[in-house]
Structure 1
Amino acid sequence: MSDQKQTVKIDQVAKIEKSLRMISDIVKQKGREILNEFPITPPQFVALQWLHEYGDMTIGELSSKMYLACSTTTDLIDRMEKNELVERVKDTNDRRVVRIHLLDKGAVIIREVIHQRQAYLQGVLENFSQEDVDFLEKNLRFLNEEMKRDAKTWKSF
C-alpha cells in the first residue's frame, strides 16, 4: 500500500454525505416519535443524552455542547428540574460551581428511548447479512474516530 492519501471522488463524497444526512433525519424523526411517549421535549432529550454520556456538567459546558445560549439552557434545566429529571448540585471541589446532575427518572427515560431506537435499527438491519452488519459497524466506527480526530485538529487552530 502506498503512503499517498487516497483521493475520494467528489461525487462519492456527495452521495455519502447525502446518505448520512438522510439517515440522521430518519433516526431523529424516529426518536421524536418515541419521545411522544415520554414527558420531555427533543431539546430536553438532547440535554439528558449529554449528561448520560459525559456525567455532570455546568450550564456553560452543556450550553456549549448543545450550541445554545446559556440563558436558553438555564430555562431548559429549570423545566427539567421541575420534572425531576435533573438537579443542580454544588461542585465538591469548588462550591461556587453548580453542576447539572442526571436523576434516576431522566436516566430511565434515556435508556428506554435509546433501547427503542436500537430495536428499530435492529429491525432494519435484519435485512442485512451478518457480514454486511460487521462491515457497516466497523466502517462507521472508523469514520467516527476519523471525524473526532479531525475535530480536535481543527480546534487547535
Structure 2
Amino acid sequence: MSLNMNSASIEKSLRYLSVQVRLYGREILKEYKLSKIQFITLQWVSDSNGQTIGEVAKKLNLAYSTTTDIIDKLECSGFVRRERGHKDKRVVLVKIEQKGTELLSQVIKKRVQFIDEITCDFTEDEKEMLSTLLKRMIKKSESMSYE
C-alpha cells in the first residue's frame, strides 16, 4: 500500500502543530502543579455536565483504577467534585468545579493567543477556511471506528 504524500504531510503537520499548541499552553499547568494527564482528564470532565469515572477512563483509554487516582488528585486540588446521580443514587458523577473551569479558561486563552500569533499573516477567509476544513476532519474522524 503506497502512502498518500498529501495525507502524510497533513498528518505530520497536525502532529507537530498539536505538540506546539500544547507546549505553549502548558506553562500555566506548572503553577498549579498539574500533570498533562490530569489536565487532559479535566478537559474531558468539563465537556459534559457530569461523567462517571468509567466514562472518563474509556475516553482516556486508561484503567478504571488509574483514572480513579487521577480524579482523586483533581478532587483534592479542588478542580472537580464527585456527585451522586439524581435518578440513580448508585451512580457517581465527576463534575468540574469553578477552579477547574478557570484553569481551563486560562490555558485555552493562552493557546488561542498562540493560534492568533501563528495565523497573523492569514486573511480572514483563510482562517475561516482552515477552521471549516478542520471541523470537517474532526466530524469525519468521530464517525469512524477504531477497533
Q: Verify same fold: TM over 0.5.
A: yes
Alignment of 1:133 onto 2:127 = yes
Structure 1 unaligned blocks of 5 or more: 1-8
* Aligned counterpart for 1:95 among listed residues 67, 89, 113: 89
Deviation at 1:31, TM superposition (A): 2.6
Mapped contact 2:26–2:107 kept (Cα < 8 A): no
Residue in 1 that maps onto 2:57: 63
Q: Which SS does the other structure have where 1:37 is aligned?
A: helix
Q: Which SS does the other structure have where 1:99 is aligned?
A: strand
Deviation at 1:51, TM superposition (A): 1.3
Residue in 1 that maps onto 2:35: 41
- Determine what percentage of the aligned residue pairs are the same residue: 34
Alignment of 1:85 onto 2:79 = yes
Residue in 1 that maps onto 2:102: 108
Q: Which SS does the other structure have where 1:54 is aligned?
A: coil
- Structure number, greater radius of gyration: 1
Deviation at 1:13, TM superposition (A): 1.2
Q: Equivalences for 1:10-25 in 2 at 5 Å?
A: 10-25=4-19
Q: Aligned-pair RMSD on alpha carbons?
A: 1.6
Deviation at 1:141, TM superposition (A): 1.2
> What is the CA–CA distance in structure 1 between the aligned matches of 2:85 and 2:31, rounded to whole Å?
33
> What is the CA–CA distance in structure 1 between the aligned matches of 2:129 and 2:99, rounded to whole Å?
36
Structure 2 unaligned blocks of 5 or more: none
Q: Which SS does the other structure have where 2:83 is aligned?
A: strand
* Aligned counterpart for 1:75 among listed residues 69, 72, 78: 69
2:127 partner letter: V
Deviation at 1:124, TM superposition (A): 1.3
Residue in 2 that maps onto 1:4: none
> What is the CA–CA distance in structure 1 between the aligned matches of 2:31 and 2:118, rounded to whole Å?
21
